[in-house]
Amino acid sequence: MNCSNRLARVSACPLCSCVPRNERVTRQALLPPRAGHRATSYLCFTMQEILNYIGGTLAPARSGAWLDGFAPAEGRVFARIADSGPEDVELAVAAAEKAGPAWVALGRQGRHDALMRVAALVERDLDGFARAESRDNGKPVHLAMEVDIPRAIANLRFFATAILHQESAAHITDDQAVNYTDRQPVGVAGCISPWNLPLYLFTWKIAPALAAGCTVVAKPSEITPLTSMMLAERCMEAGLPPGVLNIVQGTGPKVGAAITAHPSIPAISFTGGTATGARIAAVAAPMFKKLSLELGGKNPVLVFADCDFEEMLKETVRSSFSNQGQICLCGSRILVERSLYPRFKEAFVQRVKALRVGDPAVASTDIGAVVSEAHLHKVLNHVALAKEEGGAVLCGGHRVELDGPLAGGWFIAPTVIEGLGPGCRTNQEEIFGPVVTIQPFDTEEEAVQAANGTRYGLASVLWTSNGSRMHRLARLMKSGIVWVNCWMLRDLRTPFGGMKHSGVGREGGMEALNFFTEARNVCIKL
């Protein structure tokens, strides 16, 4: 198994599954070949440059500074990322302001057509996008192929189409007046997204903003910027007018903070941690900016004895460990009716032990690498804390070390912990990794109290066959999303967001389009 130029037609490197160099990804500079590789035809030998996309062109940061980009499954640097600062944000805002009037004048149909062209190009290159997302984030390639990239394409298409169907309200004031609601784009929108679902969440923000007629200054997470740059290249190929979408690479404290504080950006759409959300709100609120904050979670899963056991078991394994547990919607506290608890515990732990941790490129891998070395230690520290608090680790709880090219990768065995009450730190703090707790409960009231007993309120999952309990409990859950007998079943028209410290505002459907517009009431006297 050697990489050679003659093998460049193969769709992925046979050793580490990176995309061939002839993939249209980015500018590259050669690195020395890694052990076991002979030539330089794959990205595994190359240092990718992840550039800013400002005013329709790709360029390094003005300062010329770079950040390291890591491949989590390999635990090594594979890219350098433009380390931008406020001066790059300034350029991006100027480009966005300049592009604004023509983008609005293009009209809904014109914006629809442009976004659909971009979506078609991402779909054309789905395989390359999925492999790149996996390399940058550590997630299994098949997950990126089945979930992340298709959903990014769907986001673009959904909002491109939704804008054609947006209605405005009219109110007749008896026989005195007609009022109608006129919605205009807010102007330049700031969009800041996290690393866990990189292109999926990046497009979830920029698509409604662009469809609504805003121009955008966006910042992906510095930890996973690769597919945002690939998207920029597809925007150029699709003929998206320069300056309509601007992507500034770099860190939160420099780029994210500059976007948040910029006086010409009147709306900030942010997804990320609760502490970061609070920092953004502290800056943006006194400037009276529109704010959409999608923040952390500590989601409960309530399992009643009358549920469909096999279906619940399958989906609860998925809701616990999908994407290494790094989805804000993952269930992390599993509450099980006591009569079912022994059966659940035995079957669940058995299933979790059978999950395969390994090479993200291999189709049979269930659990890839966590996103960074720092995150690996954060998750393992949480496991140590759980033990200090008296928790028993039923499986996992340790780093997994692989052989060969992935020997330095950041892998964690999926972990199940029991013996902790609802109030302890393990059951209160977001871990955001492949770690769940299981707890028995005796009554519905006790389960609801435990479920709602954190500062978060993003999603809840209920497993029961009792129809009246489904509705009763759904209304009692203090969370923005309640899944009953399912998980991650999404309809992009529905409101999406959290209560309490999980966020402010709702994304999805018309809520997102409305966020990026200002409503003006026009009252005409009859």
How far is the C-alpha of 43 from the C-alpha of 18, rounded, in Å?
Answer: 6
- Name the residue among 387, 374, 375, 370 with its Cα closest to residue 426: 387
Query: How many amino acids of this chain bind ligand NDP (CB under 6 A)?
Result: 33
Instruction: Please report how close the Cβ of residue 177 comes to ligand NDP at its closest, in angstroms.
Output: 40
Instruction: Give me the 273-292 binding string for ligand NDP, x by CB under 6 A, dash otherwise.
Output: x--x--xx------------
Select the span of 9-17, 187-195, 361-369, 483-491 touching ligand NDP (CB under 6 A).
187-195
Q: Considering only residues 53, 348, 432, 483, which one is a binding residue for ligand NDP as defined by CB under 6 A? A: 432
DSSP annotation string for 457-507: ESEEEEE-S-HHHHHHHHHH--SSEEEES-SS---TTS-B--EETTEES-B
Under the criterion CB under 6 A, does residue 498 sit at the interface with ligand NDP?
A: yes
Residue among 163 and 370 whose Cβ is closer to ligand NDP: 370
Residue among 192 and 303 whose Cβ is closer to ligand NDP: 192
How far is the C-alpha of 109 from the C-alpha of 6, rounded, in Å?
Answer: 45
Q: Amino acid identity of 415?
A: T
Instruction: Please report how close the Cβ of residue 450 comes to ligand NDP at its closest, in angstroms.
Output: 20
Strand blocks (E) in 95-206: 170-173, 177-185, 188-192
Give the active site residue among 23, 49, 294, 315: 294
Q: Amino acid identity of 213?
A: G
Under the criterion CB under 6 A, does residue 138 sit at the interface with ligand NDP?
A: no
Under the criterion CB under 6 A, does residue 222 sit at the interface with ligand NDP?
A: yes
Task: Please give the structure tokens belonging to residue 516.
Answer: 């990026």
Under the criterion CB under 6 A, does residue 341 sit at the interface with ligand NDP?
A: no
Residues 242 to 261 in contact with ligand NDP, rule: CB under 6 A: 251-253, 256-257, 260
Select the span of 22-30, 75-83, 163-171, 272-280 touching ligand NDP (CB under 6 A).
272-280
Q: Considering only residues 503, 505, 508, 509, which one is a binding residue for ligand NDP as defined by CB under 6 A? A: 503
Q: What are phi and psi of 193, to 5 degrees?
A: -125, 160
Instruction: Give me the 51-90 binding string for ligand NDP, x by CB under 6 A, dash otherwise.
Output: ----------------------------------------
Instruction: Please report how close the Cβ of residue 105 comes to ligand NDP at its closest, in angstroms.
Output: 31
Instruction: Please report how close the Cβ of residue 60 comes to ligand NDP at its closest, in angstroms.
Output: 17
Strand partners, 440: 336
- Name the residue among 466, 510, 464, 501 with its Cα closest to residue 480: 501
Q: Considering only residues 186, 212, 431, 458, which one is a binding residue for ligand NDP as defined by CB under 6 A? A: 458
Under the criterion CB under 6 A, does residue 437 sit at the interface with ligand NDP?
A: no
- Name the residue among 107, 243, 245 with its Cα closest to residue 166: 107
Q: Considering only residues 187, 243, 272, 360, which one is a binding residue for ligand NDP as defined by CB under 6 A? A: 272
Sign of the Cα pseudo-torsion (495, 500, 502, 505, in order): positive
How far is the C-alpha of 126 from the C-alpha of 478, rounded, in Å?
Answer: 37
Residues 372 to 431 in contact with ligand NDP, rule: CB under 6 A: 430
Give the active site residue among 235, 328, 330, 395: 328
Instruction: Please report how close the Cβ of residue 200 comes to ligand NDP at its closest, in angstroms.
Output: 9
Residue among 89 and 352 whose Cβ is closer to ligand NDP: 89
Exposure letters 156-175 (e unless 16+ CB within 10 A, then b): bbbbbebbeeeeeeeeeeee
User: Is residue 191 annotated as a catalytic residue, yes or no?
Assistant: no
Residue keyed to tokens 């640097």: 77
Instruction: Please report how close the Cβ of residue 370 comes to ligand NDP at its closest, in angstroms.
Output: 11
Sign of the Cα pseudo-torsion (163, 165, 171, 177, in order): positive
How far is the C-alpha of 43 from the C-alpha of 134, rounded, in Å?
Answer: 13
Under the criterion CB under 6 A, does residue 195 sit at the interface with ligand NDP?
A: yes
- Name the residue among 169, 191, 192 with its Cα closest to residue 180: 169
Instruction: Please report how close the Cβ of residue 322 comes to ligand NDP at its closest, in angstroms.
Output: 13
Instruction: Please report how close the Cβ of residue 4 comes to ligand NDP at its closest, in angstroms.
Output: 36
Rg of the chain taking only CA atoms, in angstroms: 24
Report the length, in residues, of the chain: 526
How far is the C-alpha of 495 from the C-alpha of 485, rounded, in Å?
Answer: 19
Instruction: Give me the 286-325 binding string for ligand NDP, x by CB under 6 A, dash otherwise.
Output: --------xxxx----------------------------
User: Which whole-number Å values give the CA distances from 382 to 44, 292, 329, in the listed order?
Assistant: 33, 29, 19
Looking at residue 34, what DSSP letter applies? P
How far is the C-alpha of 261 from the C-alpha of 277, rounded, in Å?
Answer: 13
How far is the C-alpha of 517 from the C-alpha of 480, rounded, in Å?
Answer: 22
Residue among 74 and 430 whose Cβ is closer to ligand NDP: 430
Residue among 266 and 503 whose Cβ is closer to ligand NDP: 503
Residue among 192 and 379 whose Cβ is closer to ligand NDP: 192
Residue among 13 and 268 whose Cβ is closer to ligand NDP: 268
Residue among 284 and 394 whose Cβ is closer to ligand NDP: 284
User: Is residue 294 annotated as a catalytic residue, yes or no?
Assistant: yes
Under the criterion CB under 6 A, does residue 219 sit at the interface with ligand NDP?
A: yes
- Name the residue among 503, 505, 497 with its Cα closest to residue 480: 497
- The contact set with ligand NDP (CB under 6 A) reads 192-196, 201, 219, 221-223, 251-253, 256-257, 260, 271-273, 276, 279-280, 294-297, 328, 430, 432, 458, 498, 502-503
Which sequence positions are flagged as catalytic?
294, 328
